[in-house]
Structure 1
């Protein structure tokens, strides 16, 4: 597991608070809580993996809270462990209360699911990596990336500008079945991108062979069953020893073990982003 130092700018964090606070915290204003000295604690209910605790710290710091401790991202947290604890003016702590809880409940749950999947696959084949997609709701990418990295996975693709990945949807816009034009366009235009590997998605062995002929360094098999991949991966590796093979589409905790020994180098999944949130309690005390 990793600390995963993903970058979050100050404006993004402030937007999270602005969305929740709005104009005024009406309840705490009516109760005249204001500058009363207080302590806030975000604590686990049930074992989990910590993620995005650093962002909760920064939210508190943006409200001039200075007495803060936290469990770094990527750490195992037992039932009842403190994820973040801080002391400061009551209103500052209340401003961050729910935003911090919501963030931790989502991030820790993703990190835990990731860790469990990574460990399942590692026990069967330590050479197969878990890679996560960009298929999450808009606006969640940095949280999703940090959380999955905290659980031990790596991002497969952070955005369109990062990698060359040819899908059937691209080929559909080219001449005939697209393969000849893919080859020609890559030959003509990708010469200056020597550091970029070409990934091409395939659904059959025939498509995989055409993809290699077109210039693929990596074949990403989409929604191909493990048993079928076992038949295809061996001859592909014998013929193209440097070729990287990935499995994608519908991979989750129920079938990851079957894919672990099917001959691919990595499993590409979106399933880690979705599931029940972690149960995080929040307590306030006056001091």
Structure 2
């Protein structure tokens, strides 16, 4: 999975979630129904199969609410899990655990949903050289968690921000008149950064391949057009990687992968998240 989940980024989300939950006072329901001295043992359990990600957010959320809460994690991020598996056991003051429950589960189910979908893509691409990649189509504050979840599911990350790589798109090209001029300017200004160029057709691809860029994004190419693009790449600049992009879906993923492209860019991994249903089950008294 390479880089671990960033604690500081996750803690900002945890504190924001808790701030929202306590915006109008303490947990009224728990204070009314649960004795102040009551202790609780509960388990984080999936309701459906999937790939889990973000388990540490449960630990960090519980400890943010109360250091007296003891948390034991039984699984690892990236694990395939089944309904009923005990992923985490939580023991401690009942009111504190119940108050932290929703924030912890919100982050865990969100990340696990991304990891599960990414895993589906990686399974579809198995046996080819293509990897599924995410995009910057993430909600503010959630990027690190979302991209971490992609890694947990077996995918790879695109750039994390605007400054760690160059991506020349159509609006950049329009501003300077040609894709070649945009490439010339960006590589002159930021020679140390990896450079990716988006192209709309094969003619534009030929222009760009003459400069042997690191990576070319094939925007809305069909399968046959992608196969032609791979042939041109192999002939003109075999060291350049190709990335298919634009409305890709699982049912066509393998057809694209078998053309010989290196990446499939799938913004839906993070912008159309369906959570993995995971709950907190308390032991009976």
Partner of 2:125: 121
In 1, the alpha carbon distance for the partners of 2:248 and 2:56 equals 30
Q: 2:168 aligns with which of 159, 166, 169?
A: 166
Alignment length (residue pairs): 279
1:24 and 2:26 matched: yes
Aligned twin of 1:178: 178
- Is the CA contact (8 Å cut-off) linking 1:4 and 1:150 kept in structure 2? no
User: How far off its partner does 1:183 sit?
Assistant: 4.2
Confirm or deny: 8 A CA contact 1:38 1:286 kept in the other structure.
no
Q: Distance in 1 between matches of 2:166 and 2:187?
A: 13
Using the alignment, how far apart are the partners of 2:20 and 2:204 within structure 1? 47
Deviates more, 1:237-246 or 1:159-168: 237-246
**What residue in structure 1 maps to residue 50 of structure 2?**
48
Aligned pairs for 1:192-203 within 5 A: 193=192, 196-203=193-200
Any residues of structure 2 matched to 1:1-287 within 5 Å, and which?
2=1, 5-9=4-8, 10-22=11-23, 23-62=25-64, 63-70=66-73, 71-123=75-127, 125=128, 127-174=129-176, 177-186=177-186, 188-191=188-191, 193=192, 196-213=193-210, 216-273=213-270, 274-285=272-283
SS in 1 for 2:91: strand
Cα distance in 1 for residues equivalent to 2:91 and 2:284: 9
Deviation at 1:256, TM superposition (A): 0.7
TM-aligned CA deviation for residue 6 of structure 1? 1.8
| Structure 1 contact 121–260 (Cα < 8 Å) conserved | yes
CA 253–35 in structure 1, closer or farther in 2 if over 3 Å, else same = farther
Equivalent-residue separation in structure 2 for 1:12 and 1:114 (angstroms): 22
Does the CA-based 8 Å contact 2:118-2:155 persist in structure 1?
Answer: yes
- Contact 2:14/2:104, CA 8 A, preserved across alignment: no
TM-score (norm 2): 0.90
How far residue 41 of structure 1 moved from its aligned partner, in angstroms, is: 1.6
Q: 1:257 to 1:58 in 2, by over 3 A?
A: same
1:171 Cα deviation from its structure 2 partner: 1.3
Q: 1:97 to 1:229 in 2, by over 3 A?
A: same
2:52, 2:80 within 8 Å by CA — same for their partners in 1? yes
CA distance in 1, matches of 2:12, 2:19: 10
Deviates more, 1:51-60 or 1:130-139: 130-139
Please say if residues 45 and 280 of structure 2, whose CA atoms lie closer than 8 Å, have aligned partners that are also in contact.
yes
Provide the C-alpha distance between the structure 2 equivalents of 1:3 and 1:91, rounded to a whole number of angstroms: 37
Unaligned runs of 5+ in 2: none
Conserved 8 A contact 2:54-2:108:
yes
SS at match of 1:19: helix
RMSD (CA atoms):
2.0
* Stretches of structure 1 lacking an aligned partner (at least 5 in a row): none
Q: Distance in 2 between matches of 1:8 and 1:99?
A: 16
